[in-house]
Amino acid sequence: MREGYDLVMGNRFKGGIAPGAMPALHRYLGNPVLTAIGRLFFGSPCGDFHCGLRGFSKHAYQRMDPHTAGMEFASEIVVKASLLRMRIAEVPTTLVPDGRGRPSHLRSWRDGWRHLRFLLLYSPRWLFTIPGLALFVAGGALGALLTFTPVRIGGVVFDTNTLLVCAMCTLVGFQLISFSVFAKAFAVRERLLPADEGTERFLKAARLEIGLLVGLGILALGLALLISAVLMWKEHAFGDLSYPDSLRVTIPSVTLIMLGLQVIFSSFLLGLFGLRVK
């Protein structure tokens, strides 16, 4: 700390863990897995996320501005320091069996889940954005192709049944992306997460009126396709249709209608987060 580091963490894995000092489940599974997730999600340099020996300056603590209670408080300090790009150092520490005469109050699976849940909730990018983008892009790209023609790969033919699955992936993907935006806006507003330049620019650009116009455009396109599907049905005297041909119009139209409505109402909800109150 005299060298100017904001947060100094102990690392029991570097300093040495005496036999019987840490349960095998914690030593070889729980702590390494949760530490690896924390390093991946937040770019943390810490190799022992849950070491209780740590020091930080008053100025660093005020910048972290922790809000959680319970054992999540310890993880929040590491997460906030990593997100704020503070200077973090580690020192080797040793762990030996404690001398208390009662069992540990920790519950491996319950408390492990609490820490994992915290890491997920504090990382909308990994919880919502990345899986949402993967579903939205994959479903939208393959669905757009299947709208015009079946796709044959080897002996497998992807047709309207796959198109329906693509529609589901597109809608679920967009919903997850929306959740990511809502979660980040809420967390920044409540000072649970630090604001970043990219989020600030997006929230300023994503005005309610722009979202409404985009949503209405998507909705209009979906309604136009739906009308064309009805006209196609009319040409057959409202009788039997070739299902592959009709579904290539009906499924995209319904998908676009639902997507347009999601954009519209998501814009209203995002506008609610933007309201300033005294």
Domain ranges within the chain, ordered by starting residue: 7-121, 124-273
**Band of pLDDT at residue 272, cut at 50, 70 and 90:** confident
Query: Radius of gyration of the chain from Cα atoms?
Result: 26
**Residue 194 reports pLDDT greater than 90:** no
The candidate with the shortest Cα–Cα distance to 41, out of 74, 82, 7, is 82
**Residue 251 reports pLDDT greater than 90:** yes
- Most confident segment among 34-48, 152-166, 184-198: 34-48
- Stretch 78-98: mean pLDDT, rounded? 93
CB 207 within 8 A of CB 216: no
Taking residue 58's Cβ as centre, other Cβ atoms within 10 Å add up to 7
Mean pLDDT taken over the chain: 88
pLDDT for the residue numbered 276: 60
Report the amino acid identity of residue 75: S
CB 215 within 8 A of CB 268: no
**Band of pLDDT at residue 239, cut at 50, 70 and 90:** confident
The share of the chain scoring above pLDDT 70, in percent, equals 98
Query: 107 or 174, which is more confident?
Result: 174
